[in-house]
Amino acid sequence: MNLDNAQQTFIEESRELLAAMEDALLTLETTPSDADAINAVFRAMHTIKGAAGLFGLDHIVGFTHVAESLMDRVRDGEIAVDDTLIALLLGCRDHISSMMDAVDAGEESTSEDMLTTGMGLVASLEVYLGHPSEDGDATESPSAPSGSHTPAPTTDATGVENVTWHVSVRFDQELLRNGFDPLSFVRYLGTLGDLVHVEVIADAMPSGEEMDAEACYLGFEMRLAGDLTKGDIEDAFEFVQSDCTLRILPPNSQLGAYLDLIQDLPEDTVRLGEILVACGTLTERELEEGLRIQAGGAGASEEMSDDQPIQPLGEILVEREVVQQELVDAALDKQRRTRDAKTREARVIRVDAAKLDELINLVGELVIAGSAAETLARRSRNRTLVEANTTIGGLVESIRDSALRLRMVEIGETFNRFRRVVRDVSQELGKDIDLVITGAETELDKSVVEKIGDPLMHLVRNAMDHGLESTERRIKAGKPAKGTLRLNAYHESGSIVIEIADDGGGLDRARILAKAQERGLVQPGQSLNDHEIDNLIFEPGFSTAEQVTNLSGRGVGMDVVRRNIDALRGIISLDSNPGQGTRVTIRLPLTLAIIDGFLVGVGEGAYIIPLDCVVECMKCDPAETRCQDYINLRGQVLPFLRLRDLFGIEGSPPRRQNIVVIQYAGQRVGLVVDHLLGEFQTVIKPLGRLLDHLRGLFGGSTILGGGEVAMILDVQELIRIAVQRDAGAHAETAASNQTDLV
Amino acid sequence: MSKTIMIVDDSASVRQVVTIALKGAGYDVVDACDGKDALTKLDGRKIHLIISDVNMPNMDGITFVKQVKAHPSYKFTPVIMLTTESATDKKQRGQEAGAKAWIVKPFQPQQMLGAVSKLVLP
Amino acid sequence: MSETESHPALALEGELNIYGAAENKLRILEFLSRAKEAPALDLSGVTEVDTAGLQLLILAQREAESMGTSLRLLDPSASVLDVLQLCNLTTRFDVSGALECNP
């Protein structure tokens, strides 16, 4: 463990924060005043800024600092959220994300492009921040500017001017005895910003004998310059929160706020006025004016005191309320932030994914050992033992499910990423597109979720780019001007189904067919149904240069999407209705780790077929299967594969073989096996390198209760082999076969 | 003259991270693996701040802090306690023992540095 | 303690912090009660000053003023100057012998 690890943690955390920030910004698009969302954006900037500092990532500190300052003002209600601001902040989010990527990649310096982007964004942010107008007194430099003791301010020189906070603090007398040194807090503030002036308040210190040398009597009035937030200043005193009275006045506070401060403090008014003037917080003139207004206000209200007797300070009170509201808000906000953080900590535990994998692996072994024990128990015919084993079996199953559920995550998070993509791309394309997400709570294995992002991204972009028509064309076609893109997910028989649907123009079949013929994917004269034509776009080599735009292009075709899905033991298909839209359906296994299997014997070996895919089993009629590769199953052609032949198993088959009918994605194939051995729950172990040559037929291996290895059949691949072989034969003798069968 | 900070934790990795972070920030660091070890290592030397874990073998953090607060040369030394969670009961006992500042584990090095620099700058 | 008839001075050395605060307070008060004219604190040997130490300096000055005289700080060390500058107190005290450090 070293700081590199810590930096990795920082990068991961930042990515999470940036994701939360994006969600919050998108929420703000619909509800611009959502306080939680505003806070989330602020928190992301604040936390990343803080953490980046430790790792010396000054460029990130500098950039997030500007964004944080802006969000601070938004929190205070000084700046309103509008679409332009959201767009700008989304840009900032992306920029920080790229800076983070560069850090992750170990890049030492910032690229030109990134610098330019950063500078552009900072310039836009500063337009929002504006520059408070110069007061006369602020330009007069104080007689004792902060000396060499002040460590270099963390902010750059441009931000410092005239952004001056007033910090007033009094401490509990026990503070020193508790090991705290107020001077250290003052020094710490000096590292946050520029301590323009510090005034020591020793009024509370008794003289001579009465003074307790170990008690704390000093208070401080400070003027602190720098682009900081109220939270930054409060944080400096976090350890003595309950042992001090802290008052913070934001830059350019109303005069009334200072008068209020003077009233609140224990020292006498005239003396405090002098102190504030000494700090440079107020000018003589302002103080006089303030005191005069205060006196005058009191007098005025006395005259008309009948209806408003409790409002002696007139206008000043209003101003004071504003300020107090700010302070109250800040305090509440801080409380809420700590509470949020605490509940989040309590709800979520971070676990290394490798540990989870190990657990799931062990649970797999447990499942297998459990099966073995159950077989033995049954063989013993000891009823109590069988019962005990059944109980254990039930528990093992629950543990398996819980263990797998640990790794299950909702797909919503993945879907939500597309809100941003759709928003950006629709703007870029000048199309008006609505994204409708359903089934966001559908869960699937984290290992699957991690790999599904890229293919989904491609499909979503493709739908926006090619699927949905331009607004003019939609209106002309009598459709709503706004296009709709739907992302949906649901569970279906042990799989998760993900749909990407648009209400666009559908696929241009004539063009696809022409292109497929041109590329030699389809032979001239070969007749294909609509569904087959539509799915040609997943064929390798179909994607062409002319199809590539800057959006869905990037040289990646739909064939790559299919390859990705295949690798997940999934299947992708497409339905298109001309003029009405296109729907891509992806079907994926819920988990890559454990399956319920159906155990069959072929020759000496045992093989497992995923139970989800098994439709039925039947006796194999040697008369019907001797010289053809298909049977008539209730009037339907069912092609079958002889596993003995496929695996090259020598010797003669037993007299009575069985056919297992398997189905995947609507296609059925029969497998001829020697024995049916029953259902078996199993853990998929990846094929080792030694068995690499078997890849294609098998999706993995597993260990049976007795210790022997069983291969798991790759159903998808078997169906492909059968269908391909069948298609070859089918094309030649299509007509005659039909008549033969009936 | 840089300030000296003592880190007391039975986890070598925690000591290591804290030491790297503190040295990087310009502090001198003395480390100890439990309360007992820490007491022997105080040994009259100037310590500006103590960071101590709570759960440790031999002598736990609470007992250690009590000893520190009873020691004439160290009774006013600020102590930051590292705690795994907001174990209120322990926190209370720690407070009574004299530790007024807390950092919740797991913490980021910069959190720790931030807390430290509020009490002692390098 | 190094004091002469005309320039009574009390030398405070080492750490001027909470650990020695009670004792130092007694020394200072006792010294001021004896030194009638232009008392001074020799701070050249001070290695560290905390809030408790600063309070003592302020207390000393206040006591001296109440006795109708003023306190001088002689040759303050870098640690003393650092705190005085941080708190903007260099001009409140009569500091001598450290002009080169105090712009």
Residue C17 lies in a domain: yes
Residue A548 confidence (pLDDT): 42
Given a cut of 70, is residue A6 above it in pLDDT? no
Given a cut of 60, is residue A332 above it in pLDDT? no
Given a cut of 90, is residue A114 above it in pLDDT? no
Whole-number Å distance between alpha carbons of A257 and B15: 47
B76 contacts C18? CB cut-off 8 A: yes
Contacts of C23 (CB under 8 A, 6+ apart): none
Residue A526 lies in a domain: yes
Given a cut of 70, is residue C63 above it in pLDDT? yes
- For residues C9 and C40, is the Cβ–Cβ distance under 8 A? yes
Is C18's Cβ below 8 Å from some Cβ in B? yes
Residue A144 confidence (pLDDT): 35
Chain B closest-CA separation from residue C58 CA (Å):
21
Contacts of A401 (CB under 8 A, 6+ apart): none
Whole-number Å distance between alpha carbons of A45 and A93: 9
A216 contacts C51? CB cut-off 8 A: yes
Q: What is the mean pLDDT of residues B70-87?
A: 80
Q: C79 to chain B: nearest residue by CA?
A: B1
Contact partners of B by the rule of 3+ C-beta pairs under 8 A? Answer: A, C
User: Sheet holding B101-104: strands in order across?
Assistant: B28-32, B4-8, B49-53, B79-83, B101-104
Is C67's Cβ below 8 Å from some Cβ in A? no
Helix/strand/coil (H, E, C) string of A69-96?
A: HHHHHHHCCCCCCCHHHHHHHHHHHHHH
Task: Please state, for a pLDDT cut of 70, what percent of chain A lies above it.
Answer: 73
The residue with tokens 């100037």 is: B46
The strand pairing partners of C41, in sequence order, are C10, C73
Beta strands in A211-365 (DSSP E): 219-225, 244-249
Instruction: Specify whether A171 is located in the same domain as A291.
Output: yes
Is C27's Cβ below 8 Å from some Cβ in A? no
Whole-number Å distance between alpha carbons of A206 and A50: 41
Helix/strand/coil (H, E, C) string of chain B?
A: CCCEEEEECCCHHHHHHHHHHHHHHCCEEEEECCHHHHHHHHCCCCCCEEEEECCCCCCCHHHHHHHHHHCCCCCCCCEEEEECCCCHHHHHHHHHHCCCEEEECCCCHHHHHHHHHHHCCC
- For residues A601 and A674, is the Cβ–Cβ distance under 8 A? yes
A203-242 per-position pLDDT tens digit: 889 988 889 999 999 999 898 888 888 888 888 898 888 8
Question: How is residue A145 written in tokens?
Answer: 């500017």
Q: A345 to chain B: nearest residue by CA?
A: B85
Contacts of A626 (CB under 8 A, 6+ apart): none
Q: C47 to chain B: nearest residue by CA?
A: B1
Instruction: Specify whether A246 is located in the same domain as A305.
Output: yes
Q: Which of A411-415, B41-45, B74-78 has the highest mean pLDDT?
A: B74-78
Boundary (domain end) residue, out of A407, A422, A441 = A407
Chain C closest-CA separation from residue A157 CA (Å):
21
Residue A141 confidence (pLDDT): 35
Q: What is the mean pLDDT of residues C60-75?
A: 89
Instruction: Specify whether A485 is located in the same domain as A363.
Output: no
| pLDDT classification of B32: cutoffs 50, 70, 90 | very high
Is C87's Cβ below 8 Å from some Cβ in B? no
Boundary (domain end) residue, out of A534, A566, A589 = A589
Residue A146 confidence (pLDDT): 36
Instruction: Specify whether A601 is located in the same domain as A718.
Output: yes
Residue C2 lies in a domain: no
Residue A284 confidence (pLDDT): 65
Whole-number Å distance between alpha carbons of A593 and A702: 11
Task: Name the burial class of residue A623, with classes exposed (0-12), middle (13-18) and buried (19+) by CB atoms within 10 angstroms of its CB.
Answer: exposed
| pLDDT classification of B49: cutoffs 50, 70, 90 | very high
C56 contacts A213? CB cut-off 8 A: yes
Residue A320 lies in a domain: yes
The CA-atom distances, in angstroms, between A62 and each of A155, A159, A540, C73 are 7, 11, 47, 42
CATH code (residue A7): 1.20.120.160
Tell me the pairing of strands A495-502 and C9-16: unpaired
Residue C4 lies in a domain: no
Is A2's Cβ below 8 Å from some Cβ in B? yes
Residue C68 lies in a domain: yes
Chain A residues touching residue C22 (CB < 8 angstroms): 213-214
Bigger pLDDT: A176 vs A740: A176
Q: C33 to chain A: nearest residue by CA?
A: A208
Given a cut of 70, is residue A340 above it in pLDDT? no
Report the residue count for chain C: 103
Question: How is residue A235 written in tokens?
Answer: 């944080």
Helix (H) or strand (E) holding A3: helix A3-30
Nearest to A180 among B13, B100, B113 (CB): B100
Given a cut of 70, is residue A255 above it in pLDDT? no
CA-nearest of A375, A361, A363 to A706 is A375
Instruction: Specify whether A567 is located in the same domain as A663.
Output: no
Instruction: Specify whether A82 is located in the same domain as A204.
Output: no
Chain A closest-CA separation from residue C21 CA (Å):
5
Instruction: Specify whether A323 is located in the same domain as A448.
Output: no
Q: What is the mean pLDDT of residues A180-205?
A: 90
| pLDDT classification of B64: cutoffs 50, 70, 90 | very high
Residue C27 lies in a domain: yes
Contacts of A70 (CB under 8 A, 6+ apart): A79, A89, A125, A128, A129
Whole-number Å distance between alpha carbons of A164 and A253: 10
Chain C closest-CA separation from residue B1 CA (Å):
10
Residue B88 confidence (pLDDT): 60
Whole-number Å distance between alpha carbons of B49 and B59: 19
Q: What is the mean pLDDT of residues A3-29?
A: 83
- For residues A65 and A155, is the Cβ–Cβ distance under 8 A? yes
Nearest to B117 among A2, A180, A191 (CB): A191
Tell me the pairing of strands A675-683 and A594-602: antiparallel
Residue C19 confidence (pLDDT): 92
Q: Give C 28-47 residues with CB within 8 A of chain A.
A: 29
C50 contacts A181? CB cut-off 8 A: yes
The CA-atom distances, in angstroms, between A564 and each of A453, A574, A720, C101 are 10, 16, 17, 71
Residue A316 lies in a domain: yes
Chain A closest-CA separation from residue C85 CA (Å):
7
Given a cut of 60, is residue A647 above it in pLDDT? yes
Chain B residues touching residue C19 (CB < 8 angstroms): 72-73, 76
Given a cut of 70, is residue A155 above it in pLDDT? no
Contacts of A204 (CB under 8 A, 6+ apart): A170, A217, A218, A219, A266
Is A341's Cβ below 8 Å from some Cβ in B? no
Report phi then psi at A438, rounded to 5: -130, 155
| CA angle, residues A226, A131, A250, in degrees to nearest 5 | 45
Chain A residues touching residue C50 (CB < 8 angstroms): 176, 181, 183
Instruction: Specify whether A107 is located in the same domain as A156.
Output: no
Residue C60 confidence (pLDDT): 93
Q: Give the residue extent of every domain in chain B.
A: 4-119
Q: C65 to chain A: nearest residue by CA?
A: A207
The residue with tokens 């303690």 is: C1
The residue with tokens 């000494």 is: A278
| pLDDT classification of A553: cutoffs 50, 70, 90 | very low
Q: Is the bond leading into A32 cis (omega within 30 degrees of zero)?
A: no
Chain B residues touching residue C17 (CB < 8 angstroms): 76
Residue A220 lies in a domain: yes
Q: What is the mean pLDDT of residues A42-65?
A: 78
A-interface mutation test, from C49, C55, C91, C92, most A Cβ less than 10 A away: C55
B17 contacts A2? CB cut-off 8 A: yes
Provide the terminal-to-terminal Cα distance of chain A, rounded to the nearest Å: 72
| pLDDT classification of A737: cutoffs 50, 70, 90 | very low
Contact partners of C by the rule of 3+ C-beta pairs under 8 A? Answer: A, B
Q: What is the ipTM of this complex?
A: 0.90
Given a cut of 60, is residue A311 above it in pLDDT? no
Query: At the topology level of CATH, where does B4-119 sit?
Result: Rossmann fold (3.40.50)
**Numbered residues of chain B with Cβ closer than 8 Å to any chain A Cβ:** 13, 16-17, 20-21, 24, 76-79, 85-86, 98, 100-101, 108-110, 113-115, 117-121
Residue A281 confidence (pLDDT): 66
Q: What is the mean pLDDT of residues C32-60?
A: 91
Residue A368 lies in a domain: yes
Question: How is residue A327 written in tokens?
Answer: 């302070």
Is C88's Cβ below 8 Å from some Cβ in A? yes
Residue A348 lies in a domain: no
CATH code (residue A638): 2.30.30.40
Q: B119 to chain C: nearest residue by CA?
A: C50
Q: Of A188-202, A369-383, A533-547, A709-723, which range is least confident? A: A533-547
Residues of the domain holding C46? 9-101
A236 contacts B100? CB cut-off 8 A: no
Is C19's Cβ below 8 Å from some Cβ in B? yes
| pLDDT classification of A316: cutoffs 50, 70, 90 | very low
Boundary (domain end) residue, out of A566, A589, A612 = A589
What is the domain count for chain A? 5
B16 contacts A50? CB cut-off 8 A: no
**SS3 assignment, position A619:** strand
- For residues C55 and A247, is the Cβ–Cβ distance under 8 A? no
Helix/strand/coil (H, E, C) string of C25-75?
A: HHHHHHHHHHCCCCCEEEEEEEEEECHHHHHHHHHHHHHHHHCCCCCEEEC
Q: Which of A109-118, A273-282, A677-686 has the highest mean pLDDT?
A: A109-118
Residue A552 confidence (pLDDT): 43
**Numbered residues of chain B with Cβ closer than 8 Å to any chain C Cβ:** 1, 72-73, 76
Nearest to A3 among B76, B109, B117 (CB): B109
Residue A382 lies in a domain: yes
Is C3's Cβ below 8 Å from some Cβ in B? no
The overall average pLDDT reported for chain C is 84
Whole-number Å distance between alpha carbons of A487 and A421: 13
User: Sheet holding A605-610: strands in order across?
Assistant: A675-683, A594-602, A605-610, A709-713, A698-703
Q: Of A107-111, C10-14, C24-28, which range is least confident? A: A107-111
Task: Name the burial class of residue A224, with classes exposed (0-12), middle (13-18) and buried (19+) by CB atoms within 10 angstroms of its CB.
Answer: buried
The overall average pLDDT reported for chain A is 76
Write A19-28 long-range contacts (CB < 8 A, 24+).
Answer: A19/A413, A19/A417, A20/A44, A21/A45, A21/A89, A21/A93, A22/A90, A22/A93, A22/A420, A23/A416, A25/A86, A25/A89, A25/A90, A25/A93, A26/A419, A26/A420, A26/A423, A28/A81, A28/A86
User: Sheet holding A636-642: strands in order across?
Assistant: A614-619, A658-664, A667-673, A636-642, A630-633
- For residues B10 and B27, is the Cβ–Cβ distance under 8 A? no
Residues of the domain holding A296? 136-343
Instruction: Specify whether A266 is located in the same domain as A303.
Output: yes
**SS3 assignment, position A595:** strand
A178 contacts B98? CB cut-off 8 A: yes
Chain C closest-CA separation from residue B14 CA (Å):
30
CATH code (residue A513): 3.30.565.10
A256-303 per-position pLDDT tens digit: 677 677 767 776 666 666 676 766 666 666 666 666 665 554 443 333
CA-nearest of B115, B117, B51, B110 to A6 is B110
Q: What is the mean pLDDT of residues C37-50?
A: 91
Q: What is the mean pLDDT of residues A300-327?
A: 37
Provide the terminal-to-terminal Cα distance of chain C, rounded to the nearest Å: 30
CB-side neighbour CA atoms (13 Å) of A602 = 24
How many other C-beta atoms can be found within 10 angstroms of the C-beta atom of residue A334?
16
Question: How is residue C11 written in tokens?
Answer: 């030398």
Nearest to C89 among A149, A190, A200 (CB): A200
CA-nearest of A460, A454, A457, A469 to A503 is A469
A404-438 per-position pLDDT tens digit: 778 788 888 889 888 888 988 888 888 889 999 99
A352-408 per-position pLDDT tens digit: 778 887 887 788 778 777 777 887 888 888 888 988 888 888 888 788 778 877 878
Tell me the pairing of strands B49-53 and B79-83: parallel
Is A210's Cβ below 8 Å from some Cβ in C? no
Bigger pLDDT: A640 vs A282: A640
Chain B closest-CA separation from residue A9 CA (Å):
9
**SS3 assignment, position A127:** helix
A176 contacts C52? CB cut-off 8 A: yes
CA-nearest of A586, A417, A595, A613 to A489 is A586
Tell me the pairing of strands B28-32 and B49-53: unpaired
Whole-number Å distance between alpha carbons of A552 and A460: 9
CATH code (residue C88): 3.30.750.24
CA-nearest of A364, A386, A399, A291 to A592 is A364
